[in-house]
Structure 1
Amino acid sequence: MSTPAPHHEILRATLRAHGLVVILRSGTAGAPLVETVRTLAEAGVRCIEITLPTPGGLAALAELRGTLPPDVLLGVGTVTEPAHIAQVTAVGARFVVSPCTFPGLLPACEEAGLGSLPGAFTATEAWAAWQAGASAVKLFPAEPLGPRTVAALHAPLPQVPLVPTGGIGLDDVRPYLDAGALAVGVGSPVLKDALTGGSQRELLSRAREFVARAARSQDPALTRR
């Protein structure tokens, strides 16, 4: 691959340094998205994704733009059409996440200067996404695969940065990172009831646990991945 553009390298470097993406997903209007993102940022989370179908998600991103520490990257997930990219760019998102790698996704992200985490489930899909210009590859759903699959993929394809997502709890974070994952994507295990009126103070505590568990400083060898 050619020398990575800044938007790719910024996303990869952030994932490499912190090992964690937290995913906000809600099916109801009025979820405290802005407050929750700010709590996560306070806890040390540096990659935060709000899924596109979440009511008010794009408005929350627009409100948050320019109000967080500059090293906090906000992205939009569950992007399934190239037409979504214009919406994402308009609210100031820095990266896009998709459950799959569909035609037109990566060229649209490249043109918009957005980092990209397209989804893959097999070695062939992961390699194709990487060769097509992904910043990193979302291994989804990770739960039926597990850390051993990440290790099996990482052995022949060490150049493909994998971000397993789906069904990952606190005790799963280190096994995935130790198996070779660049980072892990986590949703409900850290958020729990935070988007339905739950305590933001308790969210802060949980998020700090995940941040600490994913910290690269626990294993210096991981910083070279």
Structure 2
Amino acid sequence: MTFDDLLGGRPLMAILRGVPLARAAELAAAVQAGGIGVVEVPIQTAEAVDVLRDLASRGTPVGAGTVRSLADVAIAVAAGAAFTVAPGFDAEVAAASHAAGLPHLPGVATATDVHHALRAGCGWLKAFPAGSLGPGWLRELRGPFPEARFVATGGIDATNARAFLDAGAAAVGVGTAITRPGGLEALQAALRR
């Protein structure tokens, strides 16, 4: 499976950081039923790995987030992740994810990051922190790197998601804003505009 399969035409990566299993299952089911994207669970705690494992066992294509080391890649694989996500670019982590058959979404914030990540075989990139970089960053980086597909992540909510998509993001990664009551619904409305 590739990010084209996972996110092609689907504008949302729902980031479930620190979300208890019952709520995570509810949100993952809503995202999947709505056909609007995929779910990422940052694996910084044992509880989060359990959430990832449970969601993956339900057949949900769920990714492991905050994958920063080779050990994290091994944890993601063992838990049944469909893809890995990192806050930055690390060539070894990208290679290990790819070797395990998992597409990898590295964080990028500079043209140099984008260049190196593309050369490492990562066609989809996490523009992070997007809220600080701004939609203009995406427009400008799409010029020299038209083949890159960006997931704008960090500081994204229903008020600015559309601006990032309009600037060229293929999808937006949304965490805190989506886990609040009514957050997913507000975001879905913004994505439909």
User: What displacement does 1:182 show?
Assistant: 1.2
Alignment of 1:1-225 (within 5 A): 7-8=1-2, 11-26=3-18, 32-68=23-59, 72-192=60-180, 202-203=181-182, 206-215=183-192
In structure 1, distance between residues paired with 2:23 and 2:161: 26
Identical-pair percentage: 33
In structure 1, distance between residues paired with 2:20 and 2:150: 32
Q: Cα–Cα, structure 1 residues 46 and 29, in superposed 2: closer, same or farther, change >3 Å?
A: closer
Please state whether the residue corresponding to 1:18 is helix, strand or coil. Answer: coil
Check the 8 A contact 2:43/2:66 in 1, yes or no: yes
Check the 8 A contact 1:161/1:181 in 2, yes or no: yes
Please state whether the residue corresponding to 2:84 is helix, strand or coil. Answer: strand
In structure 1, distance between residues paired with 2:8 and 2:166: 13
RMSD between aligned alpha carbons? 2.2
Amino acid in structure 1 at the alignment position of 2:184: A
User: What displacement does 1:155 show?
Assistant: 1.7
The structure number with the bigger radius of gyration is 1
Amino acid in structure 2 at the alignment position of 1:58: V
User: What displacement does 1:45 show?
Assistant: 4.1
Amino acid in structure 2 at the alignment position of 1:49: E
Check the 8 A contact 1:136/1:162 in 2, yes or no: yes
Check the 8 A contact 2:43/2:49 in 1, yes or no: yes
**Equivalent pairs, count:** 193
Q: Cα–Cα, structure 1 residues 57 and 45, in superposed 2: closer, same or farther, change >3 Å?
A: farther
CA-to-aligned-CA distance 1:120-145 (integer Å, 9 cap, x gap): 11011112101111141111111111
Gaps of 5+ in 2: none
In structure 2, distance between residues paired with 1:133 and 1:118: 11
Gaps of 5+ in 1: 1-6, 193-201, 219-225
User: What displacement does 1:66 show?
Assistant: 4.2
Amino acid in structure 2 at the alignment position of 1:83: A
- Give the TM-score of the pair, scaled to structure 1: 0.77
User: What displacement does 1:43 show?
Assistant: 4.3
CA-to-aligned-CA distance 1:87-139 (integer Å, 9 cap, x gap): 11112110100001113111101110001100111011112101111141111
CA-to-aligned-CA distance 1:181-218 (integer Å, 9 cap, x gap): 111111111212xxxxxxxxx44xx3244234335xx6
Q: Cα–Cα, structure 1 residues 55 and 30, in superposed 2: closer, same or farther, change >3 Å?
A: farther
Structure number with higher relative contact order (C-alpha < 8 Å, ≥ 6 residues apart): 1
Please state whether the residue corresponding to 2:69 is helix, strand or coil. Answer: coil
- Give the TM-score of the pair, scaled to structure 2: 0.89
Amino acid in structure 2 at the alignment position of 1:147: P
Q: Cα–Cα, structure 1 residues 91 and 121, in superposed 2: closer, same or farther, change >3 Å?
A: same
Match of 1:198 in 2: none
